[in-house]
Structures are given as structure tokens and as C-alpha cells.
Amino acid sequence: MSEFAFELELCAHLESRCEGILARQLGASVADPGGRILDVIRVEPGPAFDDRLALTSESIPDAAIDADVGTGQARYWKDAFDCHPDRARRATERACEIGFFERERRKGREYVRQVARYPDWYDRIVGIENKPDLGRPGDLEAQLRTDVSLALVDEVVLATESYVTGAHLNRIPDEVGVWRVHRDGDPTAAGSAFEIEVVRDPSPLAVDEPGIEPLETRPGRTEIAVVEPDAKADARRRIAERAYGKGWRTYAFPDCGACRTDDSSAATLPHCSWKGRVVDAGSECGPSCAGYEPASDSRPAIDLEAERDRRTPWIADPEGKRRRQSGLDQFD
């Protein structure tokens, strides 16, 4: 099966059995942003998880969290940031839009305060690398060695459908856990069999210690960066926030009658009845497909945000902490 379908089905399975937040395709590097993308991230709840649920459904900008803006006296927004003014302006606007900041005007100047203190809402972060077919490993070994040496997440797991041999285990770091996925039937249907066999448990990584991030590899030489614990902590917070706002339902449904859209007790995935599997609408669907049929106007609407709200702790429209509604009508 495709890695895309494997990823969605694994997320749907984990969501039904694990607490916390799941997200797909998030950056997991520090010195080289975008240099490492983890397939799935699971963020486990921390002591103030409920406070985060009540605050906003969106990701809070990193610059807004770092800004010298508290919940007491409002501050002139330009004095509260230690970054480029354009980034500060974007962060201010977004933080106000999502309800993390509230603002007021004083003599033509804009002042902001936090509606609530940023909560200690997440605990462990687990990274899951999906490789359904170990016969086509790609850069798997290098990717997992990067995850272990950087130690940005607390644990790393490899998920596969392949039979896992001793040779496979010897090629990846001992710290990486291994799951073998067994599927029976349509995983989008209620009652379908989807089991995870734990071949090897993951070992905790040293997230509170400096990490080594490989950058560029040349023959006989690899450039590296030493990533200090403070930088890792900031990156972990960004990952957690991005995961909170994004979730894993970031896929599209094809405009095709062969794509089943019924909303059962299981997660709603883009399952094609003609292909008999989950499909990636952006790369393999459309009128050029031999199984394409125009979608009916009566096909039920798909609301993935509402489904996430219904099936997970995440709240689509929390009440928030705003003391009063902020809007353009408050400005001079």
C-alpha cells in the first residue's frame, strides 16, 4: 500500500486508542529547518492540557508566546517583541485573531495583553516514521539516526507492514522502537481489524541534553550542528503548537462518486471503492482515472474539523479567555 494510505490508517487507529494530539508531516529539525520531516507526531497531555483546550483551537505563534506580554498591564506591542518588526506585527495580528492576545488603543497606539498565561499543556512527544515496505527503505536509516542523535522527541518509532528481521533491526539505532502493523479488511469500516504488534519498544531519548543534528553529507565528511537544550525546548514547543492547530486530517477528498464519504463510527478517510483503498486526491484522482465518475450533488458534506472535534479532546470552538470582544470598532 502507499505510504500516504498507511499514514492515514495508522493515525485513525492511534486516535481511537491514545490520548493527546496527533498530527502528520511536521518539521523535526532545528539547525536546518525543514531538513527532517516526521510522518506522524503524537503529543501527550501535560498537567495544564485542559487550559490549552479552552484557550484557542489554533496554533499560537511562537513569537507571541516568547513576547514580553503578560496577563496584567497591557504593553505597547513594539516594545514587547525581540525580533524583526514584520515578524512581531504578524505575530500580534495572529495572536489577536485567535484570541491569545487582546488589544486596546491608547492615544493612537496599540497595546496588547495575554488573555491567559501560556499553559504547561504537553508532556512527551513521540515521533513515528512510516515505512510500510522495508524492501524500499529509501533514507530510512539516516533519518532515524538523525532523530536519535538530535533527540528532539522523547521517543521514535518505526511503523511497517513488512515482516521485521534481525537484519532490519541491526540497520537502525537500538533506541528506535518498531511496530508491525497487521490489517484485515477495510480499516475505515467500524469493527475492522487493525492491530499493532510491538516488535521492539522505543528507548527514551535525551531531550534535555545537547543534540547532534547532521546537516550536509559529503564523501568522507558530514557537517553537523550541536543543538543546545534551550533551542531543543523551543523547537519542541513549536512542534507541539503546530500539532495542536494542524492535527492529522490535512487531506482532501476527490470530487468523484467512487470516493466513499459516509460518516461511520470510524474516521472518515478518502476511500475509493474502485481502487479498493485510501487514495491521495491530489496525486492520483481526477477525470483521467479509469474509475472516475462525477460526484453526485446529493453526496453528504464532509466536515473533517467537526469530526476531529467529535472524536478527540481538541475543541473546534472553545469559549476562550477573552475578557471582551476585540474588533476593528474599538480602534480610533
pLDDT at 28: 94
Number of H helices, E strands in the chain: 9, 14
Instruction: Specify if 236 maps to a domain.
Output: yes
pLDDT tens digit sequence for 26-47:
999 999 988 999 999 999 999 9
Helix%, strand%, coil% for the chain, nearest 5: 30, 25, 45
Does residue 327 sit in helix, strand or coil? Answer: coil
pLDDT tens digit sequence for 312-323:
999 999 987 655
pLDDT mean across residues, the chain? 89
Domain CATH number, residue 241:
3.40.1350
Instruction: Specify if 98 maps to a domain.
Output: no
Instruction: Specify if 288 maps to a domain.
Output: no
Instruction: Specify if 156 maps to a domain.
Output: yes
Residue scoring higher pLDDT (299 or 216): 216
Domain range holding 213? Answer: 3-49+120-246
Alpha helices by DSSP H, listed for 132-218, are 140-150, 166-170
pLDDT tens digit sequence for 226-250:
999 999 999 999 999 999 999 999 9
Q: What are phi and psi of 104, to 5 degrees?
A: -150, 160
pLDDT at 294: 86
pLDDT tens digit sequence for 42-95:
999 999 999 999 999 999 999 999 999 999 889 999 999 999 999 999 999 999
pLDDT band at residue 192 under the 50/70/90 scheme:
low
C-alpha to C-alpha distance for 314 and 308, rounded to whole angstroms? 7
pLDDT tens digit sequence for 261-309:
655 557 899 989 898 889 998 888 888 999 998 887 767 788 999 999 9
Residue 7 has pLDDT above 90, yes or no: yes
Instruction: Specify if 263 maps to a domain.
Output: no
pLDDT at 265: 55
User: How many domains does the chain divide into?
Assistant: 1
Instruction: Specify if 12 maps to a domain.
Output: yes
Mean pLDDT of 3-13: 93
Instruction: Specify if 280 maps to a domain.
Output: no
Grid coordinates belonging to 231 = 533551542
Grid coordinates belonging to 13 = 487507529
Instruction: Specify if 307 maps to a domain.
Output: no
pLDDT at 326: 40
pLDDT band at residue 220 under the 50/70/90 scheme:
confident
Mean pLDDT of 168-187: 87
